Amino acid sequence: MTEVRLDTQERLELCDLFDELGPSVPTLIDGWTAHDLAAHLVLRERDLIAGPCLVLPGPFQRFAERRRAGLARGNDFGWLVARIRSGPPIGFFRVGWVRDMANLNELFVHHEDVRRANGRQPRQLAPAMDAALWRNVRRGGRFLSRRLRACGLEMHWAGTEERVRVRAGEPVARLAGAPGELLLYVFGRQSAAQVELSGPEEAVAAVRRTHFGM
């Protein structure tokens, strides 16, 4: 029996949650319903023009948002969810390292965007998922915290000896939590992430005022 890859696992569980809760429920993304989020995920993987603009600044992002809004208006929620469930088309989003990092991060974070906006508590993740998310925190933490100024940042997988310094500088703030919670924090879900932030007062203040994420 073939083992289900972690990004596929998150994809299918997110789609099951979409089916359970329906199109109108809120998400952690301000102003977006589940229908809006589903349209975003379809655009990311299947719109060859607007999809790449999601990670570009200014007018590119505004263009992508117009395309996403049009996709949401013009398509039934069930159709969008079915497209997500079917997996990405042949191409970039099927490349192994993209699946292991970008896809897993995207699907995990958006899965939690729906779960936590609708009263669900953090999941007890399998050891393999925790390890994969920690690897992605280590690899992506520097980029996702690039707007942090005036202090360094260390991240600690709570309950283990695993630590990583993602931003140089003094004084040093420390974030501790499970890998998924740390990933949510650096993806800009600070209010939902269950982490412990500690360190000198000025470092803690710098972290709290920073806009993390893409």
Residue 1 has pLDDT above 60, yes or no: no
Q: What is the pLDDT of residues 88-143, one digit of tens each?
A: 988 888 899 999 999 999 999 999 999 999 999 999 999 999 999 999 999 999 99
Give the chain's domains with CATH numbers: 6-117 (no CATH), 127-208 (3.30.1050)
Q: What is the pLDDT of residues 26-45, one digit of tens each?
A: 999 999 999 999 999 999 99
Q: Give me the chain's average pLDDT, please.
A: 93
Task: Please provide the distance, in angstroms rounded to a whole number, between the alpha carbons at the two ends of the chain.
Answer: 37
* Count of residues in the chain: 214
Structure tokens at 171: 């004084």
DSSP state of 120: P
Q: Phi and psi dihedrals of 211, rounded to 5?
A: -90, 110
> pTM, whole model, 2 decimals?
0.93
In the prediction, which pLDDT does 2 show?
Answer: 60
> Could you give the CA distance from residue 160 to residue 195 in angstroms, rounded to a whole number?
14
